[in-house]
Amino acid sequence: MKKFFFTIIITLSITMGFSQTICGTDYFLEQQILKDPSLQNVAEQNWILSDGPSSQPEGARAVKIIPVVFHVFHDGEEGNISYDQILSAMDMINQDFRRTNSDASSTRAIFAPYAADSEIEFRLATIDPNGDCTKGVVRQDIGFNSFDAGENVKPLSRWPSNQYFNIWVVNSINSAGVPGIILGYAQFPGTGNWSSYGVIIRNDRIGNIGTATTGDRTLTHEIGHCLNLLHTFQSGCGNSCNNSGDRVCDTPPSANSTQVCDLNQNLCTNDIIGTSVYSSDVADQIENYMSYNDCQNMFTLGQKNRMENALNSFSNLSSLISSNNLLATGALNTNPGICSAEFMVNNQVVCVGQEVSFTDLSYFNPKLHQWYFEGADNENSALKNPTITYSTPGKYLVQLTVEDSNANSVSSQQLEYITVLSSIGNTIPIMEDFESGTSLVEMQWFTKNKQNGFGWQLNNSYGYSGSSSIKAEAFRLQGIIEISSFAFDASNLISGHLSFRRAYAPIPGESGNFLKVSVSGNCGVTWKTLKIYGTNSLSTRADKSSPYNAPNLSDWELTNISIPAEHLTANLRVKLEYNVNQGNNLFIDDINLSGSLATNVVLKTPVNGTPNAPDNAILNWNASSIVNYYRVEVDTDTTFNTSDYQSQQINYLSGSSNNLDTQWGLNNLVHGQTYYWKVTGSLNGVDTASSEVWSFKVDSTMVGIGAINKNSFTILAYPNPASEELNLRISSEVKQEIQIVMYDITGNMIKIIYEGELQESESQFTISRTNLGNGIYLIQTLSKNGMDIQKVILE
């Protein structure tokens, strides 16, 4: 019988939830026995534990509580299931083990007298092994290791099994040649090292929300194995209920596993032989949680007794459910107070004016919330999950303080948590050759990388047009890594094109690797896939079995992609996603955005409806297709026919929007007055299409970038131009309060460099190039004694 048992488990290809899926517990046990043959006898002896009906009436015994910890192994966003999904799993297993499940009424009448409340409950730990508070969830981004996982993930995160019941959640499980897809597997008690005791399960089998599409009983089934329950078909029909099936005599044996819910199924006819509770042969108990059938809804009294004996017989499990351990792990504290302030956001990189949704993840039982959003339009909020907007580009801190009903409070602060890009991006055409900075952050390219060097990096050794490029470090790894751009202004184009150079040497025989190219016309809120390059189309040279680290000039291949018109906006972004499946390193260089200019003129700043333009505002617009000159018109009425009317003709220089031919500075505008403006292009004496009419309202208290009023301090910016750090030296005749602000050439504020008292004599400030691209910037120093502006160039 033993030989038959260990032969049949390796050939299982039955289903649990959908076709060709299996529980891997039997296979795992066989692998353990192959390494240590003595475990076969250990397993057999453990299964002899008493399983007869209890002499105590149902509900008379004390409920046994098991502290639980989930170790969630994910690949970035993939597989990082929510806390609510984990809570739904806890609800499901507690309902199943306490027989409060909604489908308990579906148990057939012949089996209903033996359907049991197992009197076992599971609770997430609230105290970790170090004595600190916990939600009972540990999360680790292990990249490709979260796929085809197995025993290799357990050492990465495990808590003592005599204190916590460990559940390891992964993206997929290594089937190791077993036919079918393994959904989960467990370790029987006493059949291996206790450090590996617990359940490994796919994230789509956790609970009934989120990634769990079916809400099946895989977790209930695997925990049953951990508490010494066998499959209902484990030992086949046998010659007695004591040695057939799951060796529990109120669970009729089955010859083999099945999936369908056939109420007439009866694969064994020896149900009354042995210490059976049945007086005649009965159908198979397909509703049992330890079957593979899709209609599971019960444990039996015999299974309950077997689980209780396991909890009492193994010292490791006795310790797990002991009152001292329940206190130590916080499992008895059903109403813990606040101990951690945590939060998440829907998007950490946004454009000016976009809504940012924050979600509170604090625990336990937060009642009051106090948020601080540095640089936001509304810097404070008492809402649990606030929505915030930012009107100024920069990197900003977020802080959350939460308080419980006992007035206990905790705080969390994340520096530079939110990156806000200008609402109007850098004007196309643009080429990014990665030669101008020392880091991707400095050049405002945003990465989602993995641990251990798996991800996009700036490479300063190899490039197509120079010595630099971006490199995806991905040799023999698995997962998804992405890099996305800052915003570009493509609003004046009628057609757009994206091009870049790539260099890739595939590993011999590789498959499943691809590069996905996407664009967003709303600064990253949504993305549109433009093209996917599979292994064959991605390759630019011959196979290479070793890491691809040094592309030759001939390796670089040009890619050209059209950009749909609906994405040609003022905040166009580009994203490259490298989906790696044991692939090689990938190089990208010379990302170009270009297109055909429209005949109409697109206005840029001041943004339409601006309520606080300075009285010396600079009007700025994007270039149109070839004209002889632009005519700019300004008035206090949309008729452009009042005594306040002003106009200026500016000769056309080029199709670039960064030249002086696409801006006009105004002076001495009236405080509180609303002005209207438009720009018209003229070619060969004929007006081309005009721009829209925009408006702005003047606030003379605002500092305009054109005003220069010498004062009691002097400012020196050096080196100028600056390629790395920019230094400011300010000499003052007296102590005074000052504000130092950096603007871009269009008047958008970039950052506040300093606010406070300036000491007499000299003060020194250093401005980092982080997130600052090449171009002209203005440094404004303001005090009650006057204002000074310095123009600086970053290159």
Instruction: Give the whole-angstrom CA distance, residue 39 versus residue 33.
Output: 5
Q: Is 742 helix (H, G, I), strand (E, B) or coil?
A: strand
CB within 8 Å of 290: residues ≥ 6 apart = 221, 224, 225, 229, 230, 231, 232, 246, 251, 299, 303
In the annotation, is 222 catalytic?
A: yes
CB within 8 Å of 499: residues ≥ 6 apart = 558, 559, 560, 561, 590, 591, 592, 594
Residues 715 and 739: beta-carbon distance below 8 Å: no
Instruction: Give the whole-angstrom CA distance, residue 236 versus residue 253.
Output: 7
Element at 8 (helix H, strand E): helix 2-8
CB within 8 Å of 622: residues ≥ 6 apart = 427, 489, 491, 492, 601, 602, 603, 604, 657, 662
Active-site choice (119, 222, 287, 432) = 222
Instruction: Give the whole-angstrom CA distance, residue 696 versus residue 610.
Output: 5
**64-74/120-124 β-pairing:** parallel
Q: What does the DSSP 8-state code read for residue 245?
A: T
Q: What is the CA radius of gyration of the chain?
A: 34
Instruction: Give the whole-angstrom CA distance, residue 610 versus residue 106.
Output: 65
Instruction: Give the whole-angstrom CA distance, residue 280 versus residue 725.
Output: 88
DSSP of 608-641: TTEEEE-TT-EEEE---SS-SEEEEEEESSTTS-
The strand pairing partners of 446, in sequence order, are 484
Q: Tokens 């992609």, residue?
A: 561
Q: Which residues are catalytic?
A: 222
